[in-house]
Amino acid sequence: MTVKDEEVTKMVEDRSHKATAPAEMTPEGKYQDIQTALDNLKASRQIILDELEKYSMDDLRNRVLDFPAGKADAYQFAMFIAGHTARHRLQIEEIKSDSGFPKD
């Protein structure tokens, strides 16, 4: 492995490096309300969790893929998914802390 577990979390949650998703992955206009978006997020996450349940830690650690920072295993990719959600939470906190954000 060329990426350590702790590097995965640090890399994906690091907001000093801004990233823009490709247009095909940007859900602009997809959701008309927050509840539908949350329901979709929960359903998508459940699919991932159900899939992870099928594999042992050894299975996850022995499946290697190319990662932006090098080689990573399937367990680290799952860490990346969780970190990506945390990254968006941090992004929301940045927006809310902006002086122009409505306080009411």
Instruction: For 21-65, write each residue's pLDDT tens digit.
Output: 777 777 677 888 999 989 998 999 999 999 999 999 999 999 998
Cα separation values, 93 from 60, 90, 102, Å: 32, 5, 13
What are the φ and ψ backbone dihedral angles of 70, each rounded to 5 degrees? 135, -155
User: What pLDDT does 1 receive?
Assistant: 60
> What pLDDT, on the 0 to 100 scale, is given for residue 84?
85
* pLDDT score recorded for residue 31: 86
* 74 has pLDDT over 80: yes
Two tokens, residue 58: 């050894």
Give the mean model confidence (pLDDT) for residues 96-104.
Answer: 89
- pTM attached to this predicted model: 0.73
Q: How far is CA 64 from CA 45, 100, 104, in A?
A: 21, 44, 48
Percentage above 90 pLDDT, the chain: 40
